[in-house]
Each structure stands twice: as C-alpha cells, then as structure tokens.
Structure 1
Amino acid sequence: MTAPTPKQMHLAAHFPGVNNTTVWADPRSRSQIDFSSFEHLARTAERGRFDFFFLAEGLRLREHNGRIHDLDVVGRPESLTVLSALAAVTERLGLAATVNTTFNEPYELARRLATLDHLSDGRAAWNVVTSSDAFTGENFRRGGYLDRADLPQVLGSARTGGTPYTRAAEFVATARELWDTWTPDGTPRPFRHQGQHFTIEGEFTVPRSPQGHPVVIQAGDSPEGREFAASAADVIFTRHGTLEAGRTFYTDVKARLAKYGRQPDDLKIMPGVTFVLGDSDAEAQESAAEIRRRQISPQNAILALEQVWGRDLSSYDPDGPLPEIDPDPDSGLVQGRVRNGDPLAVAARWRALSEAKRLSIRQTVIEATGRQSFIGSPETVASELIEFVSTDAADGFILVPHLTPSGLDDFVDRVVPLLQERGAFRSEYTGSTLRSHLGLVDPVGKD
C-alpha cells in the first residue's frame, strides 16, 4: 500500500539581527548591517523554496543598567528599506517586515507596504507589532506611549460583542480600507475613515498591488493575541516547546476562526524554532550543548537574570545559585526590552527548575531560555518537522539560525531535500506571490 502524502509544510527564514541567538564569537558570523548578509540569507532561503524571509524591528537602542546593551551597539537598519533592496535580488521569496503600529500612521505605512508589494510582484508581508514603552516613545514626536489596554494583545473587534477597537486593530482595518480603494481594474475611489484613533480622508496614491492586501502576520501567544490572529491575521508567529503544547495551541487558535467567518486554512500557525544538525544525533546533541554555552556566556547569564529580576546582580556568581531576593516588577533597570510575562512568575519557574535539577545561574538561564529546537541528523530533524505538521502542531516553521548569515545553509542543503523526497515540502514554487505560497485566498478573489 502506498503511504499517504504528508501534509505540506511552510518554511520561513528569520534574519537573527541583534539578540542572544547568534553566536557572534563564531568566526563565520558576519555583519547584520551589511547588505551582503541579508542577501546571503535571502538567496539561501529562496534556493530552499522557502515561503518568506522575516525581519524583526528595533526602534531604539536598548539600555541595561544605564548603558547601551552590548548587542545593540551596531544598530539595526529599517526593515522595509532592506526588503525593497532584496526584492531586486530575489524572484519568488516572500518579504516580511516587522513594523510598529504605535509609531506609524495607517496612510503612510499602507503606501510603503503596497509599494513593496508592487516592487516585489506580490511578495510583501507585514508583521504587526505595537509598543507600550515610553522609553522607545521618546524617539518619536509624540514622546509618549499607549496604555496596555490599547495593545494588540487585547485587540478587539466589532464582531466580538462590542469590544472597542484598539489602535492596532483599527490600524490594520484602516490599512485594508486604503488598499481596497483601488479596484482590481485600476479605478481609484476616495476614502473616508472616522474611528477612535484615526480620522482620515482623501485618495490613496498607490494602485491595487498584486496581492491586493500584503500578508498580515501577528506574533502572540496570549488569549488576546490568539483572538486577534483569528480575526485579522494570515500567519501567527508563535512559540511552543513540545509537540503536545503545539497541538493544544493549534487546536485552540483554529477553533477561534469560525466566529469570524474564516476557514482553518485561512490562518497559518508557524512557530519560531532553532535547529542544530550533525552527522549523527549524538554529534548534533553535543554541538547544540556547545552552541547554548556560547550563546549564554557567564556575562550574558547575569544580564538575562537581571532582565527578569530587574535588579543589579553583577555581584552574583554565574556558577552559583539563583538570588534569594524577589524580582522588582517596577524596575527601570532594563529599557527598551519587553518582559516576557510576570517577573515573579518567571522567577518562580526558574527557581523550581534550578532546584529540581540543581542548576547554577548560568545553567538555569541556558535551559530556561532555550527556544524549541530540532536537534539531530538531517533524517531525524526532517522526521520531527514532518511529525509536528502532520499531527497538527504547526503548519510550518520560522527558522532562527544561530549564525548570521550562513546559518541556514546546512538546513537547505541537507534537510530540505529530505522533506522534498518525502513529499512534505515543495520542490518548486507553483505561484509567484506570497499568498500563493501560503495557500491563502486572495482578498478580491483573483487567480
């Protein structure tokens, strides 16, 4: 009997930029500013027939205990400018930019995204994020920030029973209104939008782009973030550490779609994951352990601890136990970085982990901050990826390499051919737009 064809997976490449994922001490690491680095990773992803290339965003250099964070000293370029340049050296690869709704305006950003969609012949995507950070807001004319009630994590919709639009929800809806003012046959129509956050009217200057609407991505695991993704996103960028957690998340998010008149395939769930390859599983495990040690140096372990505790812990020994003092939730020690969850709750989890396994500060940080990883031989990694997708734990993955920009090379050369041989991933692009790669319905029903 012929084995059934596996469910098709989607793949994207995340350019690491400034973070603790990249092993900067590795001699193969290069600049995250030089265009050649972006081009290398993008060309590799396209050679692997990936769906899209994904850029994060940083709007201010982060500070730690009053000093510029070490990883930020070389800065971060503006995403849409980089992707516009990449449009000229790629042909089919989707181009996804993280752009903040708090410090932009719908008309201006809708024009930039529509322009990228034209320049790339229909490959643009927008990862929607916001900020409640007054520190970042000081870089902008308003100089302020939004209350957490207006963040996308609490996004509402008129269809959810009267919950008011937040700025981010209204921002996305307004951008779509602007894109729709040009008909598919090229006829412009005036627009007028009056809402809680935006009152604008006029004529949109960019004709309807190849995709109609650029693909919308949203990152968020909270219940409110899941609701926003179900109501308005095409892709949700998430993280979950186990196969079972992935299945639970997948089931929950897909079940939310029906009340918005959407089908399960209208939203793709793509967790961000790392990978480490070796000629054998044992070799890969050994390499992965060394990579984690190099990512979390003794100094970085203390910095990571301070980000949770909100206290100056420079006197602590990275090879010693966790602090007995509790975190300071209202500390201003770290500026420009979003805390992931309640510091007290995070500290409690770290303490439980440390006590159960008798881990030092550095060992605890290494284990507690690791992103979901696929570690093993190419055959093992390919099989695990297929299992995640075929058992509805994900629709695909956003790969975060530990080297910039060559970290994707081995995956494309050694894992992608196995996925293709097993029928789990495309051998060639069958369409020209990002929507076609992702199997998403065109917003105006065009072929």
Structure 2
Amino acid sequence: MPKQIHLAAHFPGVNNTTVWSDPEAGSQIDFASFERLARTAERGKFDFFFLAEGLRLRELKGKIYDLDVVGRPESLTVLSALAGVTTHLGLAATVNSTFNEPYEVARRLATLDHLSDGRAAWNVVTSWDAFTGENFRRGGYLAEADRYARAREFLATARELWDSWSPDALIGDADSGRFVTEGAGEFRHEGPQFSISGRFNVPRGPQGRPVILQAGDSPEGREFAASDADVIFSRHSTLEDGRAFYKDVKDRLGKYGRRPSDLKILPAVTYVLGDTGEEAQERALHIRRQQVSGQTALSFLEAIWGRDLSGYDPEGPLPDVEPDLGEGVSRGRAQFRGDRGAVVKQWRELAASRGYSIRDLAVEVTGRQTFVGTAATVADQLNEHVQTDACDGFIIAPHVTPGGIDAFVDQVVPLLQEKGVFRTEYSGTTLRDHLELS
C-alpha cells in the first residue's frame, strides 16, 4: 500500500514573499481571510492550518521594513476563532519558547484543544536575536545551545502541566455533574530554566497533549525534533536534499525509543499551475518578479553587504564595494547568521557566470516555486517525494491569500485521491488522528 500524503495550509505573513499587492490578494488582518483559507483547506481534507508568528516589526536602516506583511493578529487568538467555523481541520500556531513562560503557553494551548475538540498544535520555536528581545523585559539574546536547552525544558514543563490532570481527574455524579479529584492539576518543576509549582487549572484536552511541531534545521534542532516533536516544518523541498534530511532525522529516533512513523517531515513548498508546463513556468517567473521588486532586491543585498546600497541600480551589476561584516543595516533578519563574506563571493561568481543584475540575483537566490507545471505534473511530483522518502507530506505556502490554495484543492487534490495516496474523507476527529500519531 502506498504511503499516505499529509497536507497542511500555511497562511504566510512574516516574510516578503506574500504578494500582498496582487489584485487577487485580500486583507492580511481581517478574520474573513483566515476563515476562507481555513475552510478551503478543510474542504480539501488537509491535516491542519498553520500560522507563523513575528514578535517584532523588522527594520531596515532604522525604519520599519515595509516590504513585509506586518500587523498580523496574535496566532492563538485567530485559531481559537477558527475553531468555531471548522470541524476537522487541525489548528497550529507558532509560539516562541524564548519570550514566553510554560504555564501561560500550556494553558492557552490546552484551551485551544478543548475549544477545537482535539485539533491544537504548537510549533515550538526559539529566538536568537537581542533585537527581538528588546520588546521583552528579560532581553533576548541566548546562544544557540542555550536557547535549545530552554526550549527542551520549556516543552518538558508544558507536558508536565498537561499531564498533571490524569484521565480520571474529572468524575461525574448525579448531583453536581462533575467534580475534581484530589491532586488534579498539581505540579512542581525544578530545573535550570524554570522553577514553578502550583495547580494547573485547565483539564486534560481531548488529545491529551497538543501536537508538537518544530522547525529547526541545525544539529541541535534536528536532535530536538527527534526527541520531542511530532512534525518537522522543514525547508528541504528538493528530492536529493529531502531524502538526506529525512534519513538523518529518522535515524535519530531510535535512541529516544521512537519509531519512524512517530515523526512526520513536512517541508514548506509553493506551487504554480498552468494548462501547460510552459504556461506554468511563465506564471512562476511573473510571480517571482512580483515577489522581488527592485527595492526588495536592494534591501535583500543590504542585509548581506551590511551597507546602504540605495545608490545602486537594481537592474545593474552587483555592488563593487566589499561587505561591512559588522551588524549591518538590517535588524531582525535571522536568516543571515552565516559567513556573509563567503556568501558575497559566491553570489558574485554566480552573477558573473549568468550575467545577473542585482534583481536577477535576488530572484534566483531567494527561492522559487517548488512545484511548477500542470496539475497532473505537480501531483506526480508530490507523490514521488513522499513515496521515495524525501518527506511525509507538505505544508503548502501560497503567494496570495486568502485564495492561494483554491487551485491546489480543486485540481491537485482530486488527482492525489485518484492515486489512492490522499484521504477522500476524514477518518478521525483529532489532529493526531489525521497525522496517524499515537
């Protein structure tokens, strides 16, 4: 029997790849936009709906980075509202473990699990930069090993809180309906990161514990996922990279007493459909050019060069000045923590070999649509990735919201169902059911 494909829908926003200026784009804030995308995902029998989180407006040269989608409402609040207009769809939110406290997060997620009848999920993330930490009293900088140590203990503490209610902690009787048994919700945690005790005031949710997602790709992140996560939100979307990542992470599970099926690997992907392959490729290039304007391209390079490049023509050659390897002009952009000097050298070689302008280079290196072609071609490619162990499914990230997955649900999903690799109806009620997790 072929492997079953797992699908999730991402409502993007903490990025500059959402084409909010497209005539087909709707509000990034109105609840109606979240509701439409979620209802479409549920119509397509997706496993879950996913919201990212940004805790600070990013800046460029001391000014708000106006190319991002900003002003996004708090994720768990949105998902709590979506619980009332969906029935089966899982509801996943990113919640930061660096700037929150276990009791508060555990309580909010347990509440969502009750409101949704067992459909809550938590994408556990960390934050490395003091820039974001300036919004919080404690400050924000933690070394990578330290932030994963905090994240592990944070998650372990949250689980202690959820587990403090035993399955029989609520007992009904004819007179009062329900009463709490002695010791229900009682907890005590003593550790390097947290020292808390008391009584957890939200009973155990329908799933017992919310589903845990994790997105780290570093060795520490992979180990954290192997030991504690139910789903990895991966960035490895090519066959070769996906297979290597899949094998590496799945091979780590045994040491924690876990099976390969206990962890689902779902890369974030995009798609573009056309009546022909050529039409789809043309549409994909048009979308990429929408996503990377001249201003976007210059600001992207400035984050690497660490210099003001506003005097350069985005349709001209790459800057001839050397990068300033200090803090630079862009803050809060965590994707550039590596060797920026080496990146500049590599990009210059690429631009020289292909005759790229600044904008051409930005279009090339900031990613492209993962699956491009006819609906049949895209369905075949998705299935190949799953059946050859490059992943267990996909998180679909549309470039336009809220209608960005309509074509996928209407054209690609039926073909996957015909192949027998995707459900035609939900067979369970909780997100753990959908993901085939124990």
- Check whether TM > 0.5: yes
1:403 is aligned, of 393, 400, 404, to 400
Matched residue of 2:270: which SS?
strand
Equivalences, count: 424
**1:430 corresponding residue in structure 2:** 427
Aligned mates of 1:292, 1:141 — CA distance in 2 = 39
Is 1:172 aligned to 2:169, yes or no?
Answer: no
Deviation for aligned residue 1:341: 4.2
1:290 is aligned, of 281, 286, 289, to 286
RMSD: 1.4
1:33 is aligned, of 15, 25, 29, to 29
1:348 is aligned, of 345, 349, 352, to 345
Can you list the C-alpha shifts for 1:256-312, whole angstroms capped at 9, x where unaligned?
100011000111000001100011111101100110011101111111111222221
Aligned mates of 2:187, 2:93 — CA distance in 1 = 26
List, as ranges, runs of 4+ consecutive aligned residues in structure 1 with deviation greater than 6 Å.
none
After TM superposition, list the pairs within 5 Å mapping 1:354-373 onto structure 2.
354-371=351-368, 373=370
Aligned mates of 2:70, 2:200 — CA distance in 1 = 36
Deviation for aligned residue 1:180: 0.6
Matched residue of 2:67: which SS?
helix
Is 1:84 aligned to 2:67, yes or no?
Answer: no
Identity %: 69
Deviation for aligned residue 1:170: 0.5
**2:207 corresponding residue in structure 1:** 211
Matched residue of 2:405: which SS?
helix
Q: Is the 8 A contact 1:241 1:371 kept in 2?
A: no
Can you list the C-alpha shifts for 1:221-246, whole angstroms capped at 9, x where unaligned?
22221111101111111112421111
Q: Which runs of no fewer than 5 residues in structure 1 stay unpaired?
A: 153-165, 442-447
Aligned mates of 1:299, 1:309 — CA distance in 2 = 15
Is 1:113 aligned to 2:98, yes or no?
Answer: no
Q: Is the 8 A contact 1:354 1:360 kept in 2?
A: yes
Alignment-mate amino acid for residue 242 of structure 1: T
Q: Is the 8 A contact 2:288 2:368 kept in 1?
A: no
1:378 is aligned, of 364, 375, 380, to 375
Moved more, 78-87 or 348-357: 348-357
Deviation for aligned residue 1:326: 3.6
Can you list the C-alpha shifts for 1:381-435, whole angstroms capped at 9, x where unaligned?
0000000000000000001101011000000000000000111111100000001
Deviation for aligned residue 1:253: 0.7
Moved more, 305-314 or 407-416: 305-314
Matched residue of 2:50: which SS?
strand
Q: Which runs of no fewer than 5 residues in structure 2 stay unpaired?
A: 170-180
Deviation for aligned residue 1:332: 4.2
Q: CA 1:211/1:198 → structure 2, altered by over 3 Å: closer, same or farther? A: same
Alignment-mate amino acid for residue 383 of structure 1: D
Q: Is the 8 A contact 1:49 1:429 kept in 2?
A: yes
2:118 is aligned, of 117, 122, 145, to 122
**2:146 corresponding residue in structure 1:** 150
**1:21 corresponding residue in structure 2:** 17
After TM superposition, list the pairs within 5 Å mapping 1:138-287 onto structure 2.
138-152=134-148, 166-186=149-169, 187=181, 188-287=184-283
Aligned mates of 2:322, 2:48 — CA distance in 1 = 42
Q: Is the 8 A contact 1:49 1:428 kept in 2?
A: yes
Matched residue of 2:319: which SS?
coil
Aligned mates of 2:151, 2:412 — CA distance in 1 = 38
Q: CA 1:357/1:105 → structure 2, altered by over 3 Å: closer, same or farther? A: same
Matched residue of 1:282: which SS?
helix
Is 1:388 aligned to 2:368, yes or no?
Answer: no
Alignment-mate amino acid for residue 175 of structure 1: A
Aligned mates of 2:69, 2:2 — CA distance in 1 = 45
What is the TM-score with the length of structure 1 in the denominator? 0.92
Q: Is the 8 A contact 1:61 1:73 kept in 2?
A: no
Matched residue of 1:191: which SS?
strand
Aligned mates of 1:12, 1:322 — CA distance in 2 = 38
